[in-house]
Chains A and B, each alone.
Chain A
Amino acid sequence: MPGETAALPAPIADWFAAKGWAPRRHQLAMLDAARAGRDALLVAPTGAGKTLAGFLPSLVELIEAPVDTLHTLYVSPLKALAIDVQRNLLTPIEEMGVPIRVETRTGDTPSDRKARQRVKPPQILLTTPESLSLLLSYPDSAKLLGHLRTIVIDEVHAFATGKRGDLLGLCMARLTTLAPDMRRVALSATVADPDGYRGWLSSDGDIDAVALVEGEAGAEAEIAILLPQGRVPWSGHSGRYAAPQVMKQIEAHRTTLVFCNTRSLAELIFQDLWKENEQQLPIGIHHGSLSKEARRKVEGAMAEGRLRALVCTASLDLGVDWGDVDLVIQMGAPKGSSRLLQRIGRANHRLDEASRALLVPGNRFEYLEAQAALDAVDARELDPDIFRPGALDVLAQHIMGIACAGPFSEAALLAEVNRAAPYAALSAEVFGHVLHFIESGGYSLKAYDRFKRLTQDADGLWRVSHPRFLAQHRLNAGIIVEATMLNVRFRNGRSLGKVEEGFAAQLSTGDTFFFAGITCEVEKIDTEDLIVHASKKPARIPTYGGSRMPLSTSLADRVRGFLHDRSQWPRFPDDVRDWLEMQDRRSVLPRPGQLLVETFPREGRYYMVAYCFEGWNAQQSLGMLLTRRMETRGLQPIGFVASDYAVAVTSLKPVIDPVPLFSNDILQDEFVEWVQQSNLLKRAFREVAVIGGLVERQHPGKRKTGKQVTFSTDLIYDVLRRYEPDHLLLRAAWDDARARMTDVGRLANLLERAAGTMLHVDLERVSPLAVPVLVLIGRERVTHGGADDALLIEAEALAAEAMAD
């Protein structure tokens, strides 16, 4: 029980009283942690007054013992969020009438204000991980940050486990060196494993040094599955068939958020809803490819309560608090219970009222998944987050930034880096490689001794060799590397947003596609712009942007449980139950932990379907590997299709015994070969080359026109692989390819137990369970060595045909 230590200074106590509020228990607990000088992690649902809880100790300290130095840094993953919090923090400060100055510092802050902030700092500074990292690269940052008392990290669950989390971890280690008394505070949504975040936050790996404060749970969410006419379709994964029912829900609520799993899907659903929108209700669309102006406009309309519904993607998973939302609809499967809960949290930010949500499953597996998500939420079971070792490209960027701030000793910096949780296990040897990489590229061929970016003094300190490298670093620093994008705009210059170059390359004049809620017809494509006008022609869907979220392991386990546990079936709709019963009769329903593999012939071809439940990424990878292995064994595979639940391979010869196809050595042989030949590594390399500072970032608007571009990272990759395959950046690219792109961890687990748990059933015809997999779109064909050549030959024939007189 917080006692008198938690007594609030008069301005704050009066402010609470004037509002008719009492400080919440977790807000006072955060204050207690501060007074005890402890680091703290606050885990609480949305709407629990988390932001104020994070700032309260700083306000108290600044009122009790005013300082005119920088007291508190607030770091948020979103620029817009920092601006929003400024509003939410500034208002109370103003109402309390206390002289506390709060300012923001992000990529959008004008440079003269940034310079002034370094000389005359506010007491509270709101920033992002990238801007903090840049701030640390200035020599005067030591003076500015030397008096820092607290760092508050918001939405820590959203980025601690990724590269931005690595960067922030390194920045915190630096801050602790500059200001040893600084407390670390993080605010998180409800997470499965708070200890993982305490470890990440701690300054020396000691979890117990970080106080865990848990907010009171909100009211139970009311979640239901929307089933139009009680029917679940066989195939599809978007829930588009339910557009009329979704529209009815929008009509019946004040404001509805309609979450979609991909940007393409958001565009489609938006079109579908407008077709049903007889009352012409104001409905908007929001996703990461739309222009900043378009997004700000929609956000503004939402904030003012002018929209009845907003179709959106993960771009709204974080962000501005809109209060008035009273329904969240999830189109397609939710993929994970944590994400679902966070999305539902967007509705109704008051703890004492239940949030309402509807799930619209796209097919029968997705129905099971939606049901599993509901049960998981009821059981308060969340998806675990995986903390992996820090990325080496991020470390390289950080070290260069530190070098920009002033000379450093190798041993001292290594010790500091080791205090950042993601780099706790980093060896002196690898650290030395990274240093060598920054210095002169890290090559065994000593070609660049004359061009070193870092040099070592007689006293052993490292320093930047030329001032131009400081400017270069500051221009190129950052963790987010976007694919090359083209602006989609009207002829009058109005910008609609961006599409990936790869998508634009497939378009030609007169083609149409859905974007920003309208059908766009291409007028002209040039180096940086895709000029379009609105059209009424039928349109195709861009496959731009946004990666696909794989099904979480905990939901997968629940779905597996449903297949086996008949006592669950009565609560399923008739067609789902019939489907499972038919599967039981025709084939087998696997026990949890059993790997069911079905083989059957159909229309002269042979199918093998493996129900792995390991998520889309891992199963896509498995499909690639299986077809490779089948090819070398003469089974003549034609193609495969992967879903979150299963992978199905088609071949001209039957698979008699699947066990050897799933053996673990596939990860040594076929996997390495495949990843090296595929574009995965090149894509990963492009990113690490920019983050690590090997090549300069392409700044939008500065791409060369007409003349060939300077060089491509694909060519660098080829040369490097040929002459220095163990190079640091290739290792970093491999790490990314393994973890993010192929989900190799889940794949390895699957293969590990495949032989022991496989249940092979040879059937005469397709099984009911296989249908939703086989009818999926997005099939992959097996490409043979000369596939590009074959396509070129075909393209030539087409061109000749078209040009014939």
Chain B
Amino acid sequence: MVRFSFCGTELMALGQGALFWPARRALLVADLHFEKASWYARGGQMLPPYDSIATLADLTALVTACDATEVWCLGDSFHDRHGCERLPDRARDMLRALTGGTRWTWITGNHDAGFADHCGGTIVEEAEVDGLVLRHEADRHDPRPELSGHFHPRLYVTLRGRRIARRCFVASPSKLILPAFGALTGGLDAADPAIVRAAGRPAQALVPVADRLLRFPLAA
């Protein structure tokens, strides 16, 4: 867990790809993509039906570890708007326990727009919290400080013949993009022009390791 300052707000980047906001005891995650596997199963690719359970297990562990009382999901929480209806019973119980034990807010994304059943929590399109805008996809034209998801940024580094890929945050002076948290979510190169354009320049990839937050300039 590494503290850093974003637009005057103290935040902590977690190695698992979540953000903790100590002043509010809030945990922020993006792109959970619950029931991605069953979405593919409908099309004949029978991916393991444990992705929601895996993601929820990780999330539950973080809420406990951080002692969070508030959780914000920054969109694409379900892989599609009917994802919630397909949750296995075990996942449903885990999710209800979480939404029942915290102030839980779902921000809608492009994948789950219009979802209805949500096992608790409040649904909003976006929010402004203590001066920070929370939304699914970064809005280049909004000058306010903003936290978002959507792009699944991933840092690729090659050193001494070894290639490392790691989920990362992407930060610019006024925008912070979170990595995807879901167990089956892939990633997009943080240096991809689409991400750098969305974040605005100068952009950096942030990677928490042990007690440090590594910063990699992104040129695109």
Contacts and interface: CB of A to CB of B under 8 A. Distances in A.
A430 B186 CA distance: 32
Given A448-B41, A448-B46, A795-B157, A719 B164 contact: no
A796 B44 contact: no
Given A791-B159, A792-B164, A708 B187 contact: yes
A443 B48 CA distance: 7
Contact of A724 (B50, B160, B166, B216): B50
Nearest to A710: B186
Contact of B160 (A447, A451, A786, A791): A791
B194 interface: yes
A383 to B, nearest CB: 33
A711 interface: yes
Nearest to A727: B48
Contact of A792 (B160, B184, B207): B207
B47 A716 contact: yes
A17 to B, nearest CB: 59
Contact of B40 (A711, A718, A793): A711
A792 B157 contact: yes
Interface string B153-172: 00011111111101000000
Contact of B38 (A448, A706, A718): A448
Give the size category of A's interface with B: 35 or more
B48 A708 contact: no
Given A708-B187, A792-B166, A792-B207, A694 B217 contact: no
B50 A706 contact: no
Contacts, number: 126
A386 interface: no
A472 B44 contact: yes
B168 to A, nearest CB: 10
Interface string A787-805: 0110111111011100100
Contacts of A443: 46, 48-50
A65 interface: no
Nearest to B152: A708
Given A706-B192, A708-B188, A723-B54, A451 B46 contact: yes
Given A441-B49, A448-B49, A724-B48, A719 B184 contact: yes
A303 B49 CA distance: 54
Contacts of B47: 441, 694-695, 711, 716
Nearest to A788: B164
Interface string B192-220: 10100000000000010110101111000
Given A441-B49, A711-B184, A506 B161 contact: yes
Contacts of A764: none
A111 interface: no
B51 interface: yes
Main secondary structure of the interface of B (DSSP, over half): mixed
Given A723-B53, A794-B159, A711 B46 contact: no
Given A791-B160, A795-B216, A799-B217, A447 B41 contact: yes
A656 interface: no
B217 A722 contact: no
Nearest to A799: B216
A776 to B, nearest CB: 16
Given A440-B46, A715-B183, A719-B183, A793 B209 contact: yes
Interface string A516-553: 00000000000000000000000000000000000000
Contact of A723 (B48, B192, B207): B48
A791 B48 contact: no
Interface in A683-728: 694-696, 706-712, 715-716, 718-720, 722-724, 727
Which of A453, A716, A798 has the largest count of B CB atoms less than 10 A from its CB?
Answer: A716
Given A447-B88, A451-B42, A472-B44, A796 B214 contact: yes
Given A708-B188, A722-B50, 19 more contacts: A441-B48, A447-B49, A448-B41, A448-B49, A468-B44, A506-B163, A707-B188, A711-B40, A711-B186, A715-B184, A719-B51, A792-B207, A792-B209, A793-B214, A795-B157, A796-B215, A798-B159, A799-B216, A803-B217
28 contacts: A441-B47, A443-B50, A447-B49, A448-B38, A451-B38, A451-B44, A468-B44, A694-B46, A695-B45, A706-B194, A709-B186, A711-B186, A715-B183, A719-B51, A719-B184, A720-B48, A723-B48, A724-B48, A789-B209, A789-B210, A791-B157, A792-B157, A792-B164, A792-B166, A792-B214, A795-B164, A798-B159, A799-B217
Interface of A: 437, 440-443, 445, 447-448, 451, 453, 468-469, 472, 502, 505-506, 694-696, 706-712, 715-716, 718-720, 722-724, 727, 786, 788-789, 791-796, 798-800, 803
Closest CB pairs A-B (n = 9): A441-B46, A447-B49, A723-B50, A796-B214, A708-B188, A789-B209, A795-B157, A451-B41, A720-B48
